[in-house]
């Protein structure tokens, strides 16, 4: 009889332990869900990884709405642009390497020509309103692209120079 009682008490204790373990598991679950949603909020990392946004349809915000390239590069215009670029832009841009700003090499593979023109002529508004320029400002640690007060024709010559940087 004593042994049967012992077995019963053992069974009782172990079932209590099992039940309370089960309850613990249930209690833990909401925490797990919280952690998951927390991670989702932090998903900005994904944006940081995609540092190079490619969008050839976005024309940007500013005076330039339409640019048509001649099939061949206008070399004299590009040479003018290269000179201007060295004076006005090379403080922050190196042609092929990331510097204070991005390297313009291949820029026309990731941006429309209109977007590039508007970024040169209207950077103040672009970095506030344009989604690509806004992201670039974050990627480049908040240092803003500066307006060099170029005329549209001067900006166009730099754009032609950028066509030579593939």
Length of the chain: 166
Site for ligand HEC in 93-112 (CB under 6 A): 93, 100-102, 104, 107, 111
**80 interacts with ligand HEC by CB under 6 A:** no
Stretch touching ligand HEC by CB under 6 A, among 3-11, 29-37, 42-50, 84-92: 84-92
CA 54/CA 79 separation, integer angstroms: 27
**Is the Cβ of residue 11 or residue 56 nearer to ligand HEC in the bound state?**
56
**88 interacts with ligand HEC by CB under 6 A:** yes
CA 152/CA 157 separation, integer angstroms: 9
Out of 55, 82, 125, 146, point to the residue binding ligand HEC (CB under 6 A): 146
**Is the Cβ of residue 140 or residue 163 nearer to ligand HEC in the bound state?**
140
In terms of C-beta density within 10 A (0-12 exposed, 13-18 middle, 19 or more buried), how is residue 104 classed?
Answer: buried
Using CA atoms, how far residue 89 sits from 26, 32, 143, 155, in Å, is 61, 51, 14, 11
CB of 70 to ligand HEC, least distance (A): 20
- Name the site residues for ligand HEC (rule: CB under 6 A): 85, 88-89, 91-93, 100-102, 104, 107, 111, 116, 119-120, 127, 136-137, 140, 143-146, 148, 150, 158
């Amino acid at each position: 009889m004593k042994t049967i009682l012992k077995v019963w008490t053992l069974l009782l204790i172990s079932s209590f332990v099992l039940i309370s373990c089960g309850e613990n598991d249930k209690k833990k679950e909401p925490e797990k869900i919280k952690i998951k949603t927390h991670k989702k909020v932090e998903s900005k990392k994904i944006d940081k990884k995609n540092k190079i946004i490619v969008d050839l349809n976005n024309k940007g915000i500013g005076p330039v709405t339409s640019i048509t390239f001649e099939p061949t590069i206008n070399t004299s215009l590009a040479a003018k642009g290269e000179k201007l670029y060295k004076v006005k832009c090379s403080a922050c841009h190196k042609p092929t390497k990331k510097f204070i700003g991005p390297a313009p090499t291949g820029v026309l593979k990731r941006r429309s020509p209109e977007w590039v023109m508007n970024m040169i002529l209207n950077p103040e508004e672009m970095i506030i309103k344009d989604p690509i320029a806004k992201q670039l400002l974050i990627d480049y640690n908040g240092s803003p692209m500066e307006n060099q007060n170029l005329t549209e024709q001067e900006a166009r010559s730099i754009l032609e120079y950028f066509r030579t940087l593939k």
